[in-house]
Amino acid sequence: MPSPAPSPGARGYVVPIGGAEDKISDRRILARFVELCGGSEGRVAVLPTASLLPTTGDAYKRVFRELGIADVVVVDVAERKHAEEERWSDALEGVTGIFLTGGNQLRLSTILGGTPIATRIRRMNARGVHVAGTSAGAAFICEHMIAHGASGATPRAGQVALAPGLGLTNRIIIDQHFRERDRLGRLLTALSYNPFSVGFGLDEDTAAFIDPRDHAHVVGSGGITVVDVSQLAYSSMALSEVGDPVELVGVRLHILSNGAAFDLSSRIATPGPHRPADPTA
């Protein structure tokens, strides 16, 4: 369960990103995150635990510095046995934002799950610290995480494996690299087990900035496929065997892009403002 926020609106943003966010040109996702975290006044912790590349933490440190955050710390927990060290606790002190890099979400859950760092991040988010994650980092953010699964548009029983995630929210289940890796089927399968969550299929370079009132705002160059199963009339999941297509009747789908919003409470989608059509085209 997400830690209870001390008062409505006091929770920090939760920002899942679909992976491969722009780090070079307009960098609008990372710039928006930096702005949220207080810009030059902010302090950001980068957790590269998901990644096996030793350079990942420093690469993000450099980008966040270029975007104006002077105070960036890399919390480089690479093995579970180091997750309880006191120095991480000091490093997290006073941060306004936490960023989880990409890599393998099972590294995040197996190394950080159940440790004081995980508890600390949940409490910090409940008290107003913003938490973003890209790719594997995005998958890990939620209570229920897609650990792995097969690609394809049609949901099939056994297509997806869920695992407990960090638990900042249980209102959504995330899938990332969505368009690029053909993941509608596995997201539908994940939702069909228990249709209480909303599915967010995040394209690359696309993020959902979920504000303290559970409004998700779309930022980036791709789309978010919002899968709302609250009006599901039928699911065959309980009767399906592994590999069978799962029948679902009554799924609602929205495709949202930069500037659009989705209210996770009312489940109402609001399109973004669009440029007027070119009259000479």
Give the catalytic positions in this structure.
135, 177, 204
Give buried/exposed letters for 228-265 (b at 16+ CB in 10 A, else e). bbeeeeebebeebeeeeebebeebeebebbbebbbebe
Residues 4-43 that bind a copy of itself (CB under 8 A): none
Does the protein bind a copy of itself through residue 117 (CB under 8 A)? Answer: no
Alpha-carbon gap, residue 183 to 196, rounded angstroms: 19
- Phi then psi for residue 226, to 5 deg, are -95, 120
Strands (E), 127-214: 130-134, 144-149, 160-164, 172-175, 198-202, 206-210
| Total interface residues for a copy of itself by CB under 8 A | 47
Among 184, 224, 183, CA closest to 205: 224
Residue 79 vs 241, nearer CB to a copy of itself: 241
Residue 48 vs 223, nearer CB to a copy of itself: 223
Residues 169-188 that bind a copy of itself (CB under 8 A): 178-180, 182-185, 188
Residue 211 vs 228, nearer CB to a copy of itself: 228
Residue 56 vs 240, nearer CB to a copy of itself: 240
Pairing of strands 144-149, 215-220: unpaired
Please name the amino acid found at residue 67: L
Does the protein bind a copy of itself through residue 84 (CB under 8 A)? Answer: no
x-or-dash string of contact with a copy of itself, 243-262, rule CB under 8 A? -xxxxxxxxxxxxxx--x--
x-or-dash string of contact with a copy of itself, 149-168, rule CB under 8 A? --xxxxx-------------
Bridge partners of 269? 262
Q: Binding residue for a copy of itself (CB under 8 A) from 87, 275, 279, 280?
A: 275
Does the protein bind a copy of itself through residue 267 (CB under 8 A)? Answer: no
Binding part of the chain for a copy of itself, among 63-71, 118-126, 140-148, 231-239 by CB under 8 A, reads 231-239
x-or-dash string of contact with a copy of itself, 198-227, rule CB under 8 A? ---x-x------------------xx-x--
The 3-state DSSP class for residue 126 equals: helix
The 3-state DSSP class for residue 4 equals: coil
Identify whether the C-beta of residue 181 lies closer than 8 Å to the C-beta of residue 200: no
Does the protein bind a copy of itself through residue 53 (CB under 8 A)? Answer: no
Binding part of the chain for a copy of itself, among 20-28, 52-60, 165-173, 237-245 by CB under 8 A, reads 237-245
Q: How far is CA 2 from CA 47, 126, 194, 267, in A?
A: 20, 8, 18, 20
As measured in angstroms, the least distance from the Cβ of 207 to a copy of itself is: 14
Task: Give 79-82 contacts, CB < 8 A, sequence gap 24+.
Answer: 79/111, 80/110, 80/111, 80/115
Residue 67 vs 172, nearer CB to a copy of itself: 172
Burial of 66 (0-12, 13-18, 19+ CB in 10 A): middle
Residues forming contacts to a copy of itself in the complex (CB under 8 A) are: 151-155, 178-180, 182-185, 188, 201, 203, 222-223, 225, 233-234, 236, 238-240, 244-257, 260, 269-272, 274-277
